[in-house]
């Protein structure tokens, strides 16, 4: 997730759905695995002079950890390590999830775009990475994966073999 997109209209939908999932599944926490990649912010022009956007403004409007401050009984924890080394990130994310082993959790994988396409990059999560995190969850946890709309041509975003491979009795 890039901080430049935090708190946009998609986040209103995403976090509304997550809070309802917590209620429906009687969970205690939302754990966001953010796949965080810092953004470069542009400048603003004031009196024909370009200036950097002040840190305080970026921190208020684009700090992905601000979601932890939501006024709710639901506790939110953001795993916001910088996503630049896949194996190290995967290992650390799984350890982060294990820290909540006594809680029922909704675990959100939140990459920029979604699951790997034919030519993935850091905007995507590899299927094996998502599966590794899924397998690290407790049976009563809820696994959520943020996927941007990719079916503009009317086709499903994920092919049937992948969908079938993810089905697991007793897991949400």
Q: Which of 19-28, 32-41, 42-51, 138-147 has the highest mean pLDDT?
A: 19-28
To the nearest 10 degrees (0 to 180), the angle between helices 86-98 and 127-136 is 20
pTM of the full structure:
0.78
At residue 132's C-alpha, the angle toward residues 30 and 93, to 5°, is: 50
Count H helices and E strands in the chain, helices first: 5, 8
CB atoms near residue 107 (< 10 Å): 25
Going by C-alpha positions, the residue among 75, 72, 81 that lies closest to residue 29 is: 75
Strand partners, 108: 32, 144
Q: How many residues does the chain have?
A: 172
Please, how many CA atoms are within 13 Å of residue 75, restricted to the half-sphere of its CB? 7
Domain boundaries, the chain: 3-166
Query: What gap in Å lies between CA 54 and CA 127, rounded to an integer?
Result: 38
List pLDDT tens digits, range 51-90: 888 878 877 777 888 888 888 888 999 999 999 999 999 9
3-class secondary structure, 82:
strand
Q: How confident is the model at residue 2 (pLDDT cuts 50, 70, 90)?
A: very low
Q: Is 105 exposed, middle or buried (0-12, 13-18, 19+ CB in 10 A)?
A: buried
């Amino acid at each position: 997730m890039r901080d430049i997109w935090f708190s946009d209209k998609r986040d209103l939908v995403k976090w509304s759905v997550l809070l309802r999932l917590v209620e429906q599944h009687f969970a205690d926490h939302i754990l966001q695995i953010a796949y965080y990649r810092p953004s470069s912010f542009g400048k603003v022009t004031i009196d024909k002079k370009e200036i950097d956007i002040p840190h305080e403004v970026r921190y208020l409007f684009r700090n992905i950890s601000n979601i932890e401050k939501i006024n709710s009984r639901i506790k939110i924890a953001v795993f916001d390590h910088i996503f630049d080394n896949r194996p190290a990130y995967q290992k650390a994310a799984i350890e982060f999830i294990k820290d909540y082993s006594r809680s029922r959790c909704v675990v959100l994988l939140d990459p920029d775009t979604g699951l790997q396409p034919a030519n993935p990059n850091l905007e995507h999560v590899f299927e094996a990475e998502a599966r590794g995190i899924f397998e690290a969850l407790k049976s009563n946890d809820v696994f959520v994966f943020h996927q941007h709309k990719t079916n503009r041509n009317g086709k499903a975003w994920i092919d049937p073999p992948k969908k079938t491979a993810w089905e697991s009795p007793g897991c949400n």
